[in-house]
């Protein structure tokens, strides 16, 4: 009887979870801008995955006899000062930008989420120490903090992701802490304590999973901000070293020729704008879809 009841409860919880996901998807589908953003992101991901197939040229393939070519059938977005195909470099650059955005936000979510959960769950001195450190980091502008970290570690893809991720940790720590404080005294947490579960088990199994909704929304919006921050660092020479294609570095390289050859900065700029727009509208759509007040 006990096993049958446990199986029935498992099926019930699974059906309930599927029903909630379907509800979120149905509300998300009603937001046209969010769906447009989702479609754009799917296209960008596919472009990044199949860049070797889609790009007509290598990202570092030079043709010094055809420098500063304007957009044409041979070079859709024209060529740069070294005769490199801008269209191909933007396609390969999507890999770098998405990789930086996702991994940097992943670092911030994991570290910031854990610190926020610990601070909110234990309260007291632990909360004061962790959150005062977060307040100190928040008092420093995110771009300035990222610049300091990259300047200390050196220019590389890994250091760029670390810099952007570390500078975003306080935001996720505060979000998770606020969510943990609101749920740590609920009945299912008290029940877990009564059964003898350890604090870490309660945090990872019961508390953090119930804080995911605001974190998912913030992470979606944060990826766009991380891509913009990485592009800004590359623009001022603290990002990825050339000839690796990165949209911010492409903007920096083309700014000297912007009067005579505006296409050198136009297309990388459009790529950044479209990508950040897609993440922002999708994040807004997820926020509305995951809002419990809209479930009625």
Q: What is the mean pLDDT of residues 213-242?
A: 87
| pLDDT over threshold 70, residue 59 | yes
Please give the structure tokens belonging to residue 64: 């010094």
Distance from the Cα of residue 72 to its chain's centroid: 34
269 vs 205: which has the higher pLDDT? 269
Domains and CATH numbers, the chain: 32-50+83-294 (1.10.3720.10)
Q: Would you state the pLDDT for residue 281?
A: 92
Chain position carrying tokens 């044409």: 72
Tell me which residue of 57, 74, 78, 48 sits closest to 266, measured CA to CA: 78
> In angstroms, rounded to a whole number, what is the distance separating the alpha carbons of residues 202 and 181?
14
> In angstroms, rounded to a whole number, what is the distance separating the alpha carbons of residues 296 and 174?
28
Q: Would you state the pLDDT for residue 9?
A: 42
Q: Please state whether the peptide bond connecting residue 30 to the residue before it is cis, i.e. omega within 30 degrees of 0.
A: no
Chain segment 235-282, per-residue pLDDT in tens: 888 888 778 888 988 998 888 898 899 999 999 999 999 999 999 999
Using CA atoms of 108, 112, 114, 117 in order, give the dihedral in degrees to the nearest 10: -140
Q: What is the mean pLDDT of residues 140-149?
A: 87
Give the confidence band of 25 by pLDDT, cuts at 50, 70, 90.
confident
> In angstroms, rounded to a whole number, what is the distance separating the alpha carbons of residues 69 and 205?
57
> In angstroms, rounded to a whole number, what is the distance separating the alpha carbons of residues 229 and 279?
14
Q: DSSP per residue over 126-164, as a string?
A: HHHHHHHHHHHHHTS-HHHHHHHHHHHH-SSHHHHHHHH
Q: What is the mean pLDDT of residues 222-242?
A: 87
Mean pLDDT of the chain, nearest integer:
85
Chain position carrying tokens 């610049």: 147
| pLDDT over threshold 60, residue 294 | no
Q: Would you state the pLDDT for residue 18?
A: 63
- pTM score: 0.83
């Amino acid at each position: 009887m006990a096993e049958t009841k446990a199986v029935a409860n498992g099926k019930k919880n699974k059906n309930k979870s599927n029903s909630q996901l379907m509800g979120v998807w149905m509300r998300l589908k009603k937001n046209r801008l969010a769906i447009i953003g989702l479609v754009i992101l799917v296209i960008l991901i596919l472009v990044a995955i199949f860049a070797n197939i889609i790009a007509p040229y290598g990202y570092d393939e030079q043709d010094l006899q055809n420098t500063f070519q304007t957009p044409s059938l041979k070079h859709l977005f024209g060529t740069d000062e070294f005769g490199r195909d801008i269209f191909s470099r933007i396609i390969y650059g999507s890999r770098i930008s998405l990789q930086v955005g996702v991994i940097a936000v992943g670092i911030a979510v994991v570290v910031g989420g854990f610190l926020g959960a610990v601070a909110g769950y234990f309260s007291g001195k632990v909360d004061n120490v962790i959150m005062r450190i977060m307040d100190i980091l928040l008092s420093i502008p995110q771009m300035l903090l990222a610049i300091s970290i990259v300047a200390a570690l050196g220019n590389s893809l890994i250091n760029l992701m670390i810099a952007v991720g570390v500078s975003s940790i306080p935001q996720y720590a505060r979000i998770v802490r606020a969510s943990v404080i609101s749920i740590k005294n609920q009945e299912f947490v008290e029940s877990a304590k009564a059964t003898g579960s350890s604090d870490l088990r309660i945090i990872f199994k019961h508390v953090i999973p119930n804080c995911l909704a605001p974190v998912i929304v913030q992470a979606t919006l944060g990826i766009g901000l991380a891509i913009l921050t990485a592009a800004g660092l590359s623009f001022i020479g603290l990002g990825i070293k050339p000839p690796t294609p990165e949209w911010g570095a492409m903007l920096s390289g083309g700014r000297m020729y912007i009067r005579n050859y505006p296409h050198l900065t136009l297309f990388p700029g459009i790529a950044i704008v479209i990508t950040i727009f897609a993440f922002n509208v999708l994040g807004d759509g997820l926020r509305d879809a995951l809002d419990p007040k809209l479930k009625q």
